[in-house]
Structure 1
Amino acid sequence: MENISAAPETQIKETSFLSLNPSTLEVIGEVANTSREEIDDKIEKAQKAQKRWAARPDAERKEIILKVAEALQQNSKHLAAWITREQGKPLSGPGANFEMQACVGWTQVPASLDVPEEIVFEDETRKDILYRNPIGVVAAIAPWNWPLMIAIWQIIPSLRMGNAVVIKPSEYTTFCTQEMIKVINTVLPEDILQVITGRGEVGSYLTSHPEIGKIMFTGSIATGKKVIEASVKNMARLTLECGGNDAGIILPGFDVSKHIDQLFWAAFLNMGQTCACLKRLYVHENDYEKVVKALTDYSSHIPMGDGADEASILGPIQNKMQYDKILDLILDSEKNGADVLFRGQKPDLEGYFIPVTLIGNVDNGHRIVDEEQFGPVLPIIQYKTLEEAITKANNSENGLGASVWSDDLNEAQKVAAQLQAGTVWINQHGAIHPLVPFGGAKQSGYGVEFGIEGLKAVSLPKVISIKK
């Protein structure tokens, strides 16, 4: 999602560019590219603030973060309106207000958790104690699909463990993220959370900066690899969430009617612009028509339009780059013999709208199946045997999430155990939780977020070994 070069000497050439409302294409404002000198200054301030922040008692840091949650709650309507205006997701349904409630929850939970020292070994001769110390300054690269929620995932655990954060929002959703940072900084001590803005070269300079100790990134595989290259300059620790092409398998005989709501939103939450959305659906040939009909009937009743209209439940694609990519994948599938099983009604608006689209007569090997479309398009693939479905589901460079849908939970768990993904859901998909570790397998990244494991990931283990 970001275009980050690994070279720290990259020049920041542009001074500014425009941000657009994806529903109306109106200009929201001009985004400045933060200069290298400004980035240096912000990192230096963050370093000094981090030492003061880490010196505070743990209970005090927890109390401050809980006050951050209160501030987010108090400003949730204001921030949700900004999300809708710049990111595009509707206020209604699982949209901008939903995102803001997630921001509050994912702030409260880390503040409620403790990571105490641990006696890892003790006998009559020695005692070894494992402590978790702050890393220093964390560089956070936030994406455009959930610009506030994912920024919170990066910011709050880092602060909770005594770090400072310098965050770069996506170039496509700068203003809404900045608005949230303003709210958070009414509570936090000065300089502990800094924001820089701009295109990929700004992120390049930040991630390769010698004073960065940890990088948290959510985005594409290609950009994730560039972040890895950048980290060679500073040996920064990494947490990478590089997207997914999540597969779902419906086991034979599944009563889809009981779960159609969950199945639809598994694929089309945030217009499919979610890393852990269902992006490939494998259905037994005997159940294919039934599943297609259920999804078609449900999809035809979900209204799409400008997210500011409370009647809208689905909104636009966030930016033209992604819009063009999705249209290209749909066109390619049609050229190669795919069937458009359903195409929803496109609203009469100028924005980047693509209606919900169900694609049939496709298989592994088609681009629409093999590539992460990251949009409101779902290829539905028929299979004859479960072994075939499992093999095809695993045939991907991605491994973020997967799901199994069945009325037989024991059978579903057997299939889930064979799927290559960081999380496999049963009769749900993308159901993340702030206490449950979340991360990818294969090229979907490494490291985990959320819960105790997520807090450990933004700290340094230190052992003190005592000879008795």
Structure 2
Amino acid sequence: MTDFHAVIAGKKEAGGRARTVLNPATEEPVGTFPECTEAQLDAAVTSARKAYLHWSETDGEVRVRALRQMADLIESHAQELARLLTLEQGKPLKGRGSEFEVQACVSWLRATAGMSLPVKILEASEQSQAFLYRKPVGVVASITPWNWPLLIAIWHLAPALRVGCTVVVKPASNTPLSTLRMVEILNQALPAGVLNVVSGNIGYQLPEHPGIDKVVFTGSTPVGRTVMRGAAGGLKRLTLELGGNDAGIILPDANVPEVIEGIFWGAFINGGQTCGALKRLYVHESQYEEVCRSLTQVTTSMPMGNGLDEDNLFGPIQNQGQFNYICELVEDARQGGASVLCGGVAPQGKGYFYPLTLVADVTDEMRLVKEEQFGPVLPILRYTDIDDVICRANDSEMGLGGSVWSSSIEQAKSVASRLECGTVWINGHGAVSPHVPFGGVKSSGIGVEFGIEGLEEYTVIQSMHIPDH
């Protein structure tokens, strides 16, 4: 086991009592991390506020070089970070697992370094001039989840640092170790205090801390509401990327053999533990049996096990609470008359392993459809009428993503435009890009990440009027 520390002002701090992180594949300890104290939380925020005075005034090219150096540092420590991520999160090293996540961190940093927010000329007349400036919002609190711990931390801190903010990161207590180590590595490229990290339950006080100017949170909708309440007293800026219950609609003209692999990975990447994963699949009755048969063939061929075994493409569910919830949802569907096509029974032995599971003959009223399962289970629903299935897909408090699968792009676009979600994919599901804004509607969040629009979320506007004398 390895002991990890909070990083405040570029220095390690042990904190209060040590807490243990378990490997979800073996249920054995991986390492320990500190339950930070209130004094350490205050120290981290104070450190960020002090550093902000200088970092916010730093030339943009200096910040660009820092982000590029951060990318180089992660790349040089990729093997170490990927292994640690697998040990605490469970995802496999290979395939679309830990190595993929670490490399995505590198790519995102470099892409964000290439973005800028130039001054806008709003008026240039004989009477006056007007300009719009984007200024950094201040000190940012970043609260990250356990499913993509490193990548989502980078999604938060890269744009913040790029525009001149300073950051205090609070990783999920299920997966803090890789983030603690990454922040320690990244601080080699940054002045002291620009990037800080605290761990443990005390971090949930960040949204209401008077020294925080903006909160960015990725996680469940119920916790997002708590974060929003905490930030409300100080009227803090917010970006919330919350839960999703993404619907995918296969149109009757779709070529099933051509789309089936994309549907599989859209649903099961990271074992389904992704906010923007495909979580409800609607199939026209004319192709229902073919889709069920084809998906079953693909799903049952995928190896699952300890992520350190390079032959495995899927690992365990990250924690016991989520494991128990998945078991509960599948059993509820089974008791309600649904048919389990594959999986559906957890194996005996150590680890929070739940097999990739397909559930057919489900109804919209079942919990497996109405709730976000966030695990390796996909319900498959029948439909007969396009207008009806669009209404069913939209009948959710969530609105993160959705997808339409068809041989006709124009027909798919027509259906996609009617889905109530922040992002919609055609003949794919879940792909994100650093240059394309991503965010939810309804209870799936507030604000956007990525692209210029995401960069702007870390700024405040200042308009400047200059009379022409």
Judge same fold: TM > 0.5, yes or no. yes
Secondary structure of 1:186 counterpart? helix
1:37 corresponds to 2:31: no
1:64 corresponds to 2:34: no
1:388 corresponds to 2:377: no
CA contact (8 A) 2:253 2:408 kept: no
Q: Distance in 2 between matches of 1:168 and 1:345?
A: 35
Equivalent position amino acid for 2:71 in 1: A
1:136, distance to aligned residue in structure 2 (A): 1.1
Secondary structure of 1:340 counterpart? strand
Which sits farther off after the overlay, 279-288 or 174-183? 174-183
1:243 corresponds to 2:238: no
1:316 corresponds to 2:316: yes
1:346, distance to aligned residue in structure 2 (A): 5.9
Secondary structure of 2:404 counterpart? strand
Secondary structure of 1:352 counterpart? coil
Question: Residue 183 of structure 2 aligns with which residue?
Answer: 181
Q: Distance in 1 between matches of 2:248 and 2:124?
A: 46
Question: Residue 18 of structure 1 aligns with which residue?
Answer: 20
Q: Distance in 2 between matches of 1:257 and 1:100?
A: 31
Equivalent position amino acid for 1:141 in 2: I
Q: Distance in 1 between matches of 2:344 and 2:297?
A: 11
Question: Residue 226 of structure 1 aligns with which residue?
Answer: 226
Cα-to-partner distance string for 1:168-197 (whole Å, 9 max, x where unaligned):
000100111111111111111111100000
CA contact (8 A) 1:16 1:198 kept: no
CA contact (8 A) 1:23 1:349 kept: no
CA contact (8 A) 1:304 1:347 kept: no
CA contact (8 A) 1:89 1:307 kept: yes
Q: How does 1:318-357 map to 2 (within 5 A)?
A: 318-343=318-343, 349-357=349-357
Going from structure 1 to structure 2, the CA distance change for 1:373 and 1:344 (only over 3 Å counts) comes to: closer
Match of 1:83 among 82, 85, 91: 85
Match of 1:92 among 91, 94, 104: 94
Equivalent position amino acid for 1:163 in 2: C
Q: How does 1:103-114 map to 2 (within 5 A)?
A: 103-114=105-116
Q: Distance in 2 between matches of 1:349 and 1:99?
A: 28
Question: Residue 5 of structure 1 aligns with which residue?
Answer: none
Question: Residue 9 of structure 2 aligns with which residue?
Answer: none
1:54, distance to aligned residue in structure 2 (A): 1.5
Q: How does 1:354-393 map to 2 (within 5 A)?
A: 354-393=354-393
CA contact (8 A) 1:253 1:287 kept: no
Q: Distance in 2 between matches of 1:372 and 1:16?
A: 32
Q: How does 1:203-282 map to 2 (within 5 A)?
A: 203-282=203-282
Secondary structure of 1:80 counterpart? helix
Question: Residue 433 of structure 2 aligns with which residue?
Answer: 433
Question: Residue 299 of structure 1 aligns with which residue?
Answer: 299
Secondary structure of 1:46 counterpart? helix
Question: Residue 117 of structure 2 aligns with which residue?
Answer: 115
Cα-to-partner distance string for 1:253-311 (whole Å, 9 max, x where unaligned):
31121122211100000000000000000000110000011100011111000000001
Secondary structure of 1:379 counterpart? strand
Q: Distance in 1 between matches of 2:423 and 2:250?
A: 17
CA contact (8 A) 2:21 2:30 kept: yes
Q: Distance in 2 between matches of 1:170 and 1:190?
A: 23
1:360, distance to aligned residue in structure 2 (A): 1.0
Cα-to-partner distance string for 1:288-341 (whole Å, 9 max, x where unaligned):
000011100011111000000001000000001111111110111111111101
Q: Distance in 1 between matches of 2:349 and 2:217?
A: 33
Secondary structure of 1:358 counterpart? strand
Q: Distance in 1 between matches of 2:276 and 2:337?
A: 28
Question: Residue 193 of structure 1 aligns with which residue?
Answer: 195
The TM-score normalised by the length of structure 2 is 0.95
Q: Distance in 1 between matches of 2:300 and 2:98?
A: 22
1:381, distance to aligned residue in structure 2 (A): 0.3
Equivalent position amino acid for 1:353 in 2: F
Cα-to-partner distance string for 1:211-246 (whole Å, 9 max, x where unaligned):
100100000110100111001222110000012000
Which sits farther off after the overlay, 258-267 or 211-220? 258-267
CA contact (8 A) 1:126 1:465 kept: yes
Equivalent position amino acid for 2:108 in 1: W
CA contact (8 A) 2:330 2:344 kept: no
Q: Distance in 2 between matches of 1:205 and 1:379?
A: 37
CA contact (8 A) 1:264 1:299 kept: yes
Deviant stretches of 4+, over 4 Å: 344-349
1:153 corresponds to 2:143: no
Match of 1:55 among 51, 54, 57: 57
Q: Distance in 1 between matches of 2:329 and 2:127?
A: 65
Q: Distance in 1 between matches of 2:454 and 2:256?
A: 34
1:16, distance to aligned residue in structure 2 (A): 4.0
Cα-to-partner distance string for 1:67-94 (whole Å, 9 max, x where unaligned):
1001111111110001100000001110
1:465, distance to aligned residue in structure 2 (A): 1.1
Q: Distance in 1 between matches of 2:347 and 2:253?
A: 36
1:55, distance to aligned residue in structure 2 (A): 1.8
Question: Residue 171 of structure 1 aligns with which residue?
Answer: 173
Match of 2:131 among 125, 129, 132: 129
Cα-to-partner distance string for 1:4-28 (whole Å, 9 max, x where unaligned):
xxxxxxxxxx844321000000112
1:451, distance to aligned residue in structure 2 (A): 1.1
CA contact (8 A) 1:413 1:426 kept: yes
Q: Distance in 2 between matches of 1:337 and 1:404?
A: 27
Equivalent position amino acid for 1:156 in 2: A
Q: Distance in 2 between matches of 1:253 and 1:204?
A: 49
Question: Residue 141 of structure 1 aligns with which residue?
Answer: 143
Q: Distance in 2 between matches of 1:348 and 1:338?
A: 24
Q: Distance in 1 between matches of 2:283 and 2:124?
A: 54
Q: How many residues align?
A: 454
Q: How does 1:386-425 map to 2 (within 5 A)?
A: 386-425=386-425
For structure 2, list consecutive stretches of 5 or more residues without a partner in the other structure: 1-15
Quick one: percent identity of the two aligned structures? 46
Q: Distance in 2 between matches of 1:354 and 1:345?
A: 7
1:344, distance to aligned residue in structure 2 (A): 7.5
Q: Distance in 1 between matches of 2:401 and 2:349?
A: 34
CA contact (8 A) 1:421 1:440 kept: yes
CA contact (8 A) 1:129 1:463 kept: yes
The TM-score normalised by the length of structure 1 is 0.95
Cα-to-partner distance string for 1:321-378 (whole Å, 9 max, x where unaligned):
1111111101111111111012279666510000011111112111000000000000
Q: Distance in 2 between matches of 1:85 and 1:347?
A: 20
Equivalent position amino acid for 2:196 in 1: Q
